[in-house]
Chains A and B, each alone.
Chain A
Amino acid sequence: MSVVATYDWSLVWDNRAALLDGLLTAAEVAAVALLLSVLLGLVLALARMSKPPVSWLAALYVNVFRGVPALVSVIWVYFGVSLAIGVTFSTFQAGVIALTLLYSAFIAEIYRAALLGVPRGQREAGLALGMHPIRVFLSVRLPQATKMAIPNIGSMFIGMIKDTSTFTVIGLLEVVRVTQNINSTYFQPFVLYTAAAGLYVAVAFLVDFIFRAVETAMESPPKGRIALLLTRRKRRRVAAVIERVSASSAAG
């Protein structure tokens, strides 16, 4: 009897509900962690661009957590923190915190590069118009930096979803954990893990598609259907103001 003959791909279809549940859990953990990582990463980027000793602390954080594997991070959070301070997290919370610790370090570097990529004249123009430096940051530098950072943040998100696979170690019911459970019943590791990989790849394509759409919508001028929808009201408004002023100046 050949080994190939024992491959039973119908297992994948039969267990689709459990697998998709696992994928959804993985995506949820990664999505929440992405939001937190962007916020924390932005703060870290600003800290790293400020004066010592704040910049040194930020650099230390970034270099430590870029190097820590997700597996270790989640073990620290789930088992370590509860031992150290007696706080226990759910597996979902532990996963979110573990990913945020790691990916905020990566996103800090992405944002730092992006902020440095905004021409100096942009900040100067804002300041020269009498805008408060915080307002200049929020309305002028941050939007332009975010546009530059979006493709790299998309790559990070794919990495985050993939890194949830290590959270099987704390029992989070993500794709790999679900796959292990099914495999313990049927013992079809090649089939089941290949299916799991297929799910990750499918999500990678989906995330890439979404982030490309966001990137296109953030072009100046905005391109694509989403942007046209979002700017339609604004364009109408401008047209109305022009109309009003031209009418009044023609009358005057």
Chain B
Amino acid sequence: MTSTLTTARAEVEPIPLPAERTARAVVELKGIRKSFGANEVLRGIDLTVAQGEHVVIFGPSGSGKSTLLRTINLLEEPDAGSLKLEGVEYGPAAAPGVRRGKPIELRRSVGMVFQQFNLFPHRTALENITLPLRAVRKLARDEAEQRAVEALQRVGLLRHAAHFPGEMSGGQQQRVAIARALSIDPKVMLFDEPTSALDPELVGEVLAVMRNVAESGMTMVIVTHELGFAREIGDLNVFMDEGAVVESGPRGFFDHCVNPRTRDFVAAVL
């Protein structure tokens, strides 16, 4: 069942990508399994994300899509399987003799945007970005501030640099969260239902920023219920249910999916 993912992608040529980024895999998951107690939420997932590719994961609540996303930066430790970032093994299935990378090294190359934004409420928008830059990249204060200001400018929130999260709307907070995750120069950005906690009128501004990030060539994995946005941005679309990949496909997937469960879900949401 899970191998359909690779075959589907082999058969259908995705959108033409610039030659230098076609082949290189940024994230490779193989046979990822995860249980919470007796409940197996991931039943052996395979997924490869190529550089510059935008992967959309969707499916009903409890299908394991958020858990899958969270295993990519090891916020959830998989019980079994291989997780590679740029060829380095971080998963439990490291081959004998192969060094398994540390989670902190992995996370320094992976940006994550959360459903609840998770900005640090006791720090200004600017400080939310300078804190990781100084703590992780060991930048001097001036340089960190310079980069944070540029990051805020990129998401159109320079005016809010000195504001605290509590003084911003949900959409603005999420845009700062995206700027914060981007500022550490990740190899891949993960989005965990980034618009689900937003008032409807604020969804658009966050999607606009994400579109911008996508156009910059960033590799992205997005868990979302916004199938309209998914249809527009998804180079690879993955439908998950009950901890497994049911069906996946390239652009146009939403109009050409064949599995009845996928079709029912897409028809109900789109």
**Dominant SS at the A interface?**
helix
Once A220-B121, A245-B149 are accepted as A-B contacts, the answer to whether A128 and B75 lie under 8 Å apart by CB is yes
Shortest CB distance A184–B (Å): 53
User: Interface residue tally of chain B, by bracket?
Assistant: 35 or more
B107 touches A127 (CB 8 A): yes
Q: How far is the CA of A70 from the CA of B120 in the complex (A)?
A: 39
A128 touches B110 (CB 8 A): yes
A238 touches B132 (CB 8 A): no
Please name the residue on chain B nearest to A143 by beta carbon.
Answer: B122
Q: How far is the CA of A143 from the CA of B131 in the complex (A)?
A: 14
Once A127-B107, A130-B107, A140-B120 are accepted as A-B contacts, the answer to whether A241 and B149 lie under 8 Å apart by CB is yes
Q: Does A2 belong to the interface (CB within 8 Å)?
A: no
A144 touches B121 (CB 8 A): yes
Q: How far is the CA of A143 from the CA of B146 in the complex (A)?
A: 25
B112 touches A128 (CB 8 A): yes
For A, the interface residue count at a CB cutoff of 8 angstroms equals: 32
A221 touches B166 (CB 8 A): yes
Contact for A131 among B112, B121, B132, CB less than 8 A: B132
B166 touches A245 (CB 8 A): no
Binds B, one of A87-95, A100-108, A117-125: A117-125
What 1/0 flags go to B158-171 for Cβ under 8 Å of A?
A: 10011111110000
Contact for B75 among A127, A139, A143, CB less than 8 A: A127
How many residue pairs, one in A and one in B, have C-beta atoms under 8 Å apart? 95
Q: How far is the CA of A64 from the CA of B118 in the complex (A)?
A: 38
**CB under 8 Å from chain A, chain B span 69-96:** 73, 75
Q: Does A66 belong to the interface (CB within 8 Å)?
A: no
What 1/0 flags go to B95-137 for Cβ under 8 Å of A?
A: 0000000011001111110101011111110100001100110
Once A139-B135, A220-B164 are accepted as A-B contacts, the answer to whether A129 and B180 lie under 8 Å apart by CB is yes
Shortest CB distance A38–B (Å): 18
What 1/0 flags go to A132-149 for Cβ under 8 Å of B?
A: 100100011001100100
**CB under 8 Å from chain A, chain B span 139-174:** 145-146, 149-150, 153, 158, 161-167
Q: Does B184 belong to the interface (CB within 8 Å)?
A: yes
Q: Does B41 belong to the interface (CB within 8 Å)?
A: no
Q: Does B68 belong to the interface (CB within 8 Å)?
A: no
A221 touches B135 (CB 8 A): no
Q: Does B56 belong to the interface (CB within 8 Å)?
A: no
Q: Does B181 belong to the interface (CB within 8 Å)?
A: yes
Q: How far is the CA of A130 from the CA of B133 in the complex (A)?
A: 10
What 1/0 flags go to A188-204 for Cβ under 8 Å of B?
A: 00000000000000000
B124 touches A238 (CB 8 A): yes
The 5 sampled A-B contact pairs (Cβ below 8 Å) are: A124-B75, A125-B177, A129-B107, A130-B109, A130-B136
Chain B residues with a Cβ under 8 A of chain A: 73, 75, 103-104, 107-112, 114, 116, 118-124, 126, 131-132, 135-136, 145-146, 149-150, 153, 158, 161-167, 177, 180-181, 184
